[in-house]
Structure 1
Amino acid sequence: MKILAFDLGTKSGWAFGAPGWRRAPDAGLVRLPRTGEDIGRFAHAFRAEARALIERFEPDIVGFESPYLPATRFNPVTRKPELATNITTLRKLYTIAGVLELVCADYKIRCVEEHIPTIKKAVTGNGRATKERMIPAAESFGLVYPAGLKITRSEDEREHLADAFGVWLCVARAVASGEAAQIEPLWVAGRGAA
């Protein structure tokens, strides 16, 4: 059972592998162009990347992290509620989720959605884990981050791959129960230090 998983966004992490390989999946990052409010051009670029990955890997199932609408926050200065994420970003996320489902339908591949707390709990044991916790937790399963990712104080692109790995792990455990029992952090399996 070959699984391709995505963390959707302007920088979309992906993870690909089969639970039967008994190793962490391969992972990578797709950087989409900055298109401002041009949702169509953004969706078009994502579709091309999704199709290329599906054609390259020929997965049996595709999973993705469910887009979500963050809770509104009260602004004490304006004394009004405000969205935590701008509306264009939300439109882009929901659009590429639909595009991915459409591409999977074109290829007749099952496509499933995983929710963020479930993903975080699968990788860290805590459904409210921070991005900073997800990165080393995914490594503890053997995930190797490729060279060339941006890692600065303000941005760490590894978070997108860690989230994609979390989606992959959830899908693997759901659809490949026998093989997925072998998917454990290295420190649990006694195969090396975390």
Structure 2
Amino acid sequence: MIKVRLISLFSCLLLICIFFIFACKSDESETEPKNDNPADTISVADLDTFSDHLRFLGATKKPGKSPVYSGSSSLKISLKDTLYLMDEIKGPIKFLHEDTTKNVAGVYIQVHSMVGGGSLATYFYDVPEIPEMADDDSVSVVLVGVDHDGLEDIFGVPPAGAPFIFDVTIIPYGENGQTLGQTTRPVKIKDQMYKSQ
């Protein structure tokens, strides 16, 4: 009787071990790798939608890719890292130009995806400087905001389920339209109502 129970117990343990061995078998070669980067799913239409909701003071929308800057720049920008935008509040972006020959007259701003510089919105903005807001002659200021209304559905989902993950390229230009510098910053949209993080 004890022998039968031991054989039965041993058989059960053997079956459990075999089950675990087959259950733990790697099947990586059988499945395609997944790309969990949500930024890869942003379409040009999504970028245009985000761009449509940006708000400026006196800006002009222009088709195509914005002018670019190549070289080194002595301009300093007030944005340390991320551009935070809050519903209907236009925040200042300041430029310090100690060299008075490099006075910033405005900026070009274009939305694009974060993936390796990725896709661009089909247009950019030409945003003029607001001289009245400058502290002195070596500072130039532009205002940037966002209209959150309609950007998300009632569940807080952005257009077509795309995440709020995009960059803007900011290219300051001088009195004659010559580019003076270039910087790219990630954008974070903060909703006043939901205080999203």
- Report TM bin, short chain: under 0.3
TM-score (norm 2): 0.24
TM-score (norm 1): 0.24
| Structure number with higher strand proportion | 2
For the pair shown, the structure with the greater C-alpha radius of gyration is 2
| Structure number with higher helix proportion | 1
